[in-house]
């Protein structure tokens, strides 16, 4: 069994990004600039955005955080997005999700200039990705494809089962895995699917993005399968400083020995999601 080391791969590619950043600074006089908008004080979102800002610093990007309180209006947010769309000093920006329920997430995403949409959430970019055209691909699916390539995992002709159909992970992942470069045969499972256990047990590559700790048990994993765990549930822990720890969707302790490759949580997909955002920002700055 090979433990896929997302931290190591992300670190290697970050060093390459830092070199590219220097070239960009030489050429145009300033570093790529990523802006993040954060609404409210959700614990998970706060920590993700902090990590994203820290990552920027590490590779030499400029980063800015725009904060709104929980009761910010949709219009305030849309006005800020319009300003960022027009601001030539901003290469790309993201609006951290989820947003408070009084704000229409789709409206916000559609307000972002697709050329600055480094999350790849705008319907224009989603459409281009579907059509196999160059575009910003959302960070987690992009990060996973980089890991699969780095570890030279054979995807062609393999049965790839994806658990979860979210716009951010499951659905775009299913498109990428079925496209020409990956050439997998893809099954997408979701909350209404039947025979989940049997279908998972037939997967050569199992990508799990449910947000349900230990949902995938050892009996759902085929001998020799590749398992990619996207789960990042925050569960209470008295062993960490923050009082939380991250839990994956796979029962790692029991499933790992059956796998040919498996990602741990933390340290598997998470660092690659963050890396992919840097890659998209680098691309738009170029
Ligand atoms: N919430 C969970 N994942 C993401 C992400 O990749 N980008 C943004 N903006 N919000 C998220």
Nearest Cα residue to atom 9 of ligand 1:
96
Residue 242's pLDDT is 84
Ligand 1 pocket residues where CB is under 6 Å: 94-97, 119, 139, 168
- Whether the CB-CB separation of 184 and 177 falls below 8 Å is answered with yes
Per-residue CA distances from 265 to 40, 163, 262 (Å): 26, 17, 10
Residue 244's pLDDT is 86
Pocket test for ligand 1, best of 77, 168, 270, 280 (most atoms within 8 A of CB): 168
Compute, in angstroms, the gap from residue 277 CA to the centroid of ligand 1.
10
Pocket test for ligand 1, best of 35, 38, 111, 119 (most atoms within 8 A of CB): 119
Extract the residue ranges of the chain whose pLDDT is less than 70: none
Nearest Cα residue to atom 3 of ligand 1:
97
Residue 150's pLDDT is 98
pLDDT in tens, 140-173: 999 999 999 999 999 999 999 999 999 999 999 9
* Residues carrying an active site annotation: 52, 96, 119
Residue 33's pLDDT is 98
- What is this structure's pTM? 0.96
Compute, in angstroms, the gap from residue 96 CA to the centroid of ligand 1.
5
Pocket test for ligand 1, best of 49, 66, 81, 97 (most atoms within 8 A of CB): 97
How far apart are alpha carbons 18 and 11 in whole angstroms? 11
Nearest Cα residue to atom 8 of ligand 1:
96
Nearest Cα residue to atom 6 of ligand 1:
139
Residue 223's pLDDT is 98
Closest atom, ligand 1, to C-alpha of 119: 7
DSSP strand pairing (159-163 vs 62-68): unpaired
Compute, in angstroms, the gap from residue 100 CA to the centroid of ligand 1.
14
Closest atom, ligand 1, to C-alpha of 273: 6
Residues near 175 by beta carbon (within 8 Å), at least 6 away in sequence: 129, 130
Domains of the chain: 28-114 (3.40.50.10860), 139-270 (3.40.50.720)
């Amino acid at each position: 069994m090979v433990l896929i080391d997302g931290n190591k791969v992300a670190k290697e590619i970050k060093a390459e990004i830092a070199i590219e950043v220097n070239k960009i600074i030489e050429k145009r006089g300033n570093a790529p600039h990523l802006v993040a908008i954060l609404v409210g004080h959700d614990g998970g979102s706060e920590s993700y955005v902090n990590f994203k800002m820290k990552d920027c610093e590490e590779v030499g990007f400029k980063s800015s955080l725009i904060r709104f309180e929980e009761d910010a209006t949709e219009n305030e947010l849309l006005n800020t997005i319009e300003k960022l769309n027009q601001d030539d000093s901003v290469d790309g920006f993201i609006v951290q999700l989820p947003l408070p329920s009084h704000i229409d997430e789709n409206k916000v995403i559609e307000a972002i200039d697709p050329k600055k949409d480094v999350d790849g959430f705008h319907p224009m970019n989603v459409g281009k990705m579907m059509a196999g055209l160059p575009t910003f691909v959302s960070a987690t699916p992009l990060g996973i494809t980089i890991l699969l390539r780095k570890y030279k995992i054979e995807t062609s002709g393999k049965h790839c089962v994806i658990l979860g159909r979210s716009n951010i992970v499951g659905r775009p992942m299913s498109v990428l895995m079925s496209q020409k470069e990956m050439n997998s045969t893809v099954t997408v499972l979701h909350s209404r699917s039947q025979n989940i256990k049997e279908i998972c047990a037939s997967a050569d590559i199992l990508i799990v993005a449910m947000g349900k700790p230990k949902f995938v048990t050892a009996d759902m994993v085929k001998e020799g399968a590749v398992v990619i765990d996207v789960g990042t549930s925050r569960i209470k822990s008295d062993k960490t400083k923050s009082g939380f720890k991250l839990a994956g969707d796979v029962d790692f302790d029991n499933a790992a020995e059956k796998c040919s490759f498996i990602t741990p949580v933390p340290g598997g997909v998470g660092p690659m999601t963050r890396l992919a955002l840097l890659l998209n920002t680098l691309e738009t700055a170029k």
